[in-house]
Structure 1
Amino acid sequence: MNNHEIDYVLHGDDMQFVEVELDPSETVIAEAGSLMMMEDGIEMETIFGDGSGGGGGLFGKLKGAGKRLLTGESLFMTTFTNTGAGKKHVSFASPYPGKIIPVDLSQEGGKIICQKDAFLAAAKGVSVGIEFQRRLGAGFFGGEGFIMQKLEGDGMAFIHAGGTIHEKTLAPGEVLRVDTGCLVAMTRGVDYNIETVKGVKTALFGGEGLFFATLRGPGKVWVQSLPFSRLASRVFAAAPYTPGESKGEGSVAGGLFDLLGGK
């Protein structure tokens, strides 16, 4: 076990938080701003990268921090270390309604690939990097799936997703097509690509976007029912209308309606 071995408890239903139990000298890393509360005796420190120890000095730390910039995350992460004599607890909260998914990386082949904003916290030693897609289609047209995060190690990691979470195990060769925003995470054996929606009418007026993710087994996939981008677009669409402001629903048809002078 190269990663710190932490215990945890999930609290809540739709607005969950995870309470992590730390033995003396154990450490958990988390995204900046995810802290909910912590007990006395826990020391908080802001660091470059993920603190996994595989960076190779200053250059390695700068490289890791630069990779985080590519995923739209902060340059910094925060560590929480139990400096006391007994067990201490620190809690991290979900950023919006949904579920926290605990993943034991040692049970998932030592690596999972997840959406760039899904990572919440992990045991110290878990490496948080980026996963570039091999295909140009996935790279240029993937939307939320362009650059994904990879979590590597043998410890616990916690990822967050919106709405209800569905976990599906794909058999070898089994194919699942998912809206790019609904894909949360997958194990290393799943082949991932982006395909265009067939049919001009479907692409223009379907309201589901022009692309979807094609996942091919074997492996495990986590799918969310309510991506934050979809929730945000619905809130924006329902906001009070002010003359001169656009209020399209997000599909190409909504944009065409605005161009034609529709209200």
Structure 2
Amino acid sequence: MAGFTVMGGDVQHLRVELGPEEAVYAEGGHLVWKSSSVSVRATTGGGLMAGLRRALTGASFFVLELVGPGQADLAGFAPGKIVEVDLDGSRSILAEHRSFLAMEAGVRYDAKLMGLGFGWLGGEGLLMAKLTGTGRVFLHAIGDAVVLDLGLGESIDAEAGHVLAFEEGVGVTISRVGGLRTMIFGEEGLWFAHMKGPGRVWLRTLSRQQMIMGLMPEISKITRST
């Protein structure tokens, strides 16, 4: 069985240890380095239709199959934490597609259409990654990761851009918070995901919109100086 080690502090990365013929699957843009003995090939990770649906989310049509022996290192696109999810075959998870980092061979990577408004209003697209099967999945959360276990009938309201993933049994609807004044001056705090248990929810403390807004002053300075 492949070995996984989460390394780093505020900027985490995932070290993968592969024995002979052991394989893991990863999003191509996240590979930092690998042993020369590790072979790499592109695969749909679940068939042609799974690849097509995944491409519609904005993710890659192909995922990388890394086959040992040797090591590989994977990292996210921004500072953050790595979240390990253990799937036992009883329930799928739905994840923001750009958060996907790696999965074991027993996991299938597909895509699912969410209700109009869920990802779109959160700036993440209408389709989410659907991960099903048995094995470990690794997601990357910008900022820090928050894990909440909702009991039957228990619910939370999460700002839509902060939703990282949730178990498929969790009910999710989108609602607007506040009136016209909030919409004009509230920036991204306008749309909330109402999430109702039972099931597990993973949130990230930093949304992509927050990250972009935080960088805009620096980008403006660089633009003005060129």
Give TM-score scaled by structure 2 length: 0.90
Contact 1:145/1:180 (<8 A) preserved: no
Percent of pairs with identical residues: 34
CA shift in 2, pair 1:110/1:39, >3 Å? farther
Match of 1:73 among 31, 47, 59: 59
Match of 1:235 among 204, 208, 215: 215
CA shift in 2, pair 1:207/1:39, >3 Å? same
Match of 2:105 among 124, 144, 147: 124
What displacement does 1:158 show? 0.5
**SS of equivalent to 2:98:** coil
**SS of equivalent to 1:198:** coil
Match of 1:113 among 78, 89, 94: 94
Distance (whole Å) between structure 1 residues aligned to residue 116 and residue 32 of structure 2:
40
Give the aligned residue type for 2:103.
A
What displacement does 1:156 show? 0.8
CA shift in 2, pair 1:93/1:143, >3 Å? closer
Q: Which has the larger strand fraction? A: 2
Residue equivalent to 2:25: 29
What displacement does 1:95 show? 1.5
CA shift in 2, pair 1:46/1:145, >3 Å? closer
The 5 Å alignment of 1:37-116 reads 37-47=33-43, 49-50=44-45, 52=46, 55=47, 61=48, 63-82=49-68, 84=69, 88-106=70-88, 109-116=90-97
Contact 1:6/1:156 (<8 A) preserved: no
Give TM-score scaled by structure 1 length: 0.78
Distance (whole Å) between structure 1 residues aligned to residue 81 and residue 159 of structure 2:
19
CA shift in 2, pair 1:156/1:241, >3 Å? closer
Gaps of at least 5 residues in structure 1 are 56-60, 244-263
Distance (whole Å) between structure 1 residues aligned to residue 29 and residue 203 of structure 2:
24
Please list the CA deviations of residues 196-251 of structure 1 after superposition, one character each: whole Å capped at 9, or x if unmatched: 113222222122343111100111111111122321122114422979xxxxxxxx
Residue equivalent to 1:204: 184
Please list the CA deviations of residues 80-103 of structure 1 after superposition, one character each: whole Å capped at 9, or x if unmatched: 101x4xxx3221112210001111
Does structure 1 residue 20 correspond to structure 2 residue 1? Answer: no
Distance (whole Å) between structure 2 residues aligned to residue 211 and residue 225 of structure 1:
16
**SS of equivalent to 2:214:** helix
Distance (whole Å) between structure 1 residues aligned to residue 215 and residue 42 of structure 2:
34
**SS of equivalent to 1:154:** strand
Considering only CA atoms, is the larger Rg found in Structure 1 or Structure 2? 1
Contact 1:142/1:194 (<8 A) preserved: no
What displacement does 1:73 show? 1.3
Distance (whole Å) between structure 1 residues aligned to residue 121 and residue 6 of structure 2:
36
Question: Runs ≥4 in structure 1, deviation > 3 angstroms?
Answer: 135-143
Residue equivalent to 2:148: 168
CA RMSD of aligned residues (A): 2.1
Give the aligned residue type for 1:228.
R
